[in-house]
Amino acid sequence: MTLRSVARQAGIAAPSIYRHFPDQPAIMLAVVQEAFAQLDAELLSARDAGSSDPRERLLNIGHAYLRFADRHPERYRTMFGGVWVPVPDASSVTADDMSALGQTALHLLSQALEDCVQAGYATSTDVLADAVALWLGLHGLAHQRSVYPAFAWPPDIAERVITALAHVSTD
């Protein structure tokens, strides 16, 4: 993607795009930030779906994450697939810009897991580390389902990933 191609798609002259974005990584950052905002909205909606059971809220968030990846494969690949990897400080994108991506999703997973621990449903002793492991597990499952859709995925694979990585009891 070039600034010229973005300008052409937007129907404007290439030089005018510089009033809005200083370089191509800044454009991609805006695209990825918008995609994360959409993911965050779906995860928040899943969390607030009405259940007071912490395990159900955690499962709802996990399933919402996977649904987002299934429904928006191109957007998901742009977010996580290495389509863009700016070098902080070699462009207008900073290390802080990059580290902010995904923080809301991670916070939601962490909070849902903490709620499970507080309710006695999970045995995590390091909620943040286990939330990161859970996010990686969800991401791995989302990726594998997108690149290998013909595989006969067990119908309960998402629950297995979530409960195992979050140390949540199923009783």
Give the sign of the dihedral formed by CA 27, CA 30, CA 35, CA 38.
negative
Query: What confidence tens digit (pLDDT) does each residue in 58-111 have?
Result: 999 999 999 999 999 988 988 987 767 777 678 888 889 988 999 999 999 999
Choose from 26-30, 48-52, 71-75, 134-138 the range with maximum mean pLDDT: 134-138
Whether 11 is covered by a domain: the verdict is no
How many domains is the chain partitioned into structurally?
1
Asked whether the predicted pLDDT for residue 3 surpasses 70, the reply is no
Asked whether the predicted pLDDT for residue 155 surpasses 60, the reply is yes
Taking the C-alpha atoms of residue 114 and residue 77, their distance in angstroms, rounded to an integer, is 29
Query: What confidence tens digit (pLDDT) does each residue in 105-144 have?
Result: 999 999 999 999 999 999 999 999 999 999 999 999 999 9
Whether the Cβ atoms of residue 3 and residue 21 lie closer than 8 Å to each other: yes
Name the residue range of residue 67's domain: 32-165
DSSP H stretches of helix in 48-126:
54-71, 73-80, 95-100, 103-118
Whether 40 is covered by a domain: the verdict is yes
Asked whether the predicted pLDDT for residue 1 surpasses 60, the reply is no
Name the residue with higher pLDDT: 32 or 87.
32
Amino acid identity for residue 21 in this structure: F
The CATH code of the domain that includes 53 is 1.10.357.10
Whether 6 is covered by a domain: the verdict is no
Exposure string over 80-92, b if 16+ CB within 10 A, otherwise e: beeebebeeeebb
Whether the Cβ atoms of residue 128 and residue 148 lie closer than 8 Å to each other: no
